[in-house]
A and B are shown apart, each in its own frame.
Chain A
Amino acid sequence: MLILTCPCCGIDAAEIELAPGGEAHLKRFGPGSGDAEFENYLFNRHAAKGPVLERWRHAYGCGKWFLAARDSVTMEVYGTYSARLPEPPEDVLARIRARHPGWEVPA
């Protein structure tokens, strides 16, 4: 059972205090977008083995959404950060790359 530190309120929250929200950093496509990009937005997920970027909500706590960089194999948490950021902050990227040299945010 995971523990993630909520970056909004600082609590080390147990998994049962959190609600998962799937992959982070999706770019929304609305009316006017092409079929391919819309389908990609709606359905295609990376589901990577290794570092994953995820959305979580501190549902039984401060109620805020945040993002987490986690390793889906080792469960190592590289960091949690604001849901407003377009990509993981540098310190989180550095921790991911320390384990997975050259790792890039998946396109």
Chain B
Amino acid sequence: MEEVEGILVAAHELKAPLAVLRQLAFALPEMDGLGEHVRSEMVSVSERAIKQVNDLAKMRRLEDGLFEMEPVAIREVCDAVHRELDYLYKYNRRNLAMDYRNKSRLVVANRELLYSVIYNFALNAMHYSNDGTEAELAVRDCRGRVRVSVRDYGPMLPVDVWREMKRGCIEKPTSVAMRPGSSGLGLFIASRFARYMGAAVGAVRHRDGTSFYVELPVSEQASLFGI
């Protein structure tokens, strides 16, 4: 039953960008001089949809244990997410600020899954930030682990969802919005990926927004960065 509901939520989330793409395709021939703007929107929306499909496919592969754990340079992953989302943030008149304070440079994770977790958090923060505002991606050491958190200045996370995250995992996406306009699919996926990696996800409620974080074990392997 839960699986069926999850599929319905996923289908609904994917329908939205596809419907937008269809409307943009209709609009394209009518545009005079604004064709490039519409083309950019089509690329941005389709990339969002492809990312969602890829993450759902990865969820299926989790069951087969196909993702190997390895030492991962956490700042490199965060930089890669920042590079990929920078265009989308700027396009939406927002900014993603980076704040690195970690001494431990390597964490134990699967790079592909970790990238998806941080990407989902950062995309979520963009969605919930207002025009002209800044979301913050921070990396710091935290009780022998490394915490990557993404802070937005949007609506506060409902307390029941916060409790569920505090317990360690979002059990399923929900058709009732977790925050306005969201089914929580991205958060559900991030939560599953983190659990697979032995990492912990959580959220901090602020009066003016929410921080989502993932905490990862530090790798004992010596870092090439020298720390």
Do A and B actually bind?
Answer: no
- State the B residues within 8 Å of A (CB): none
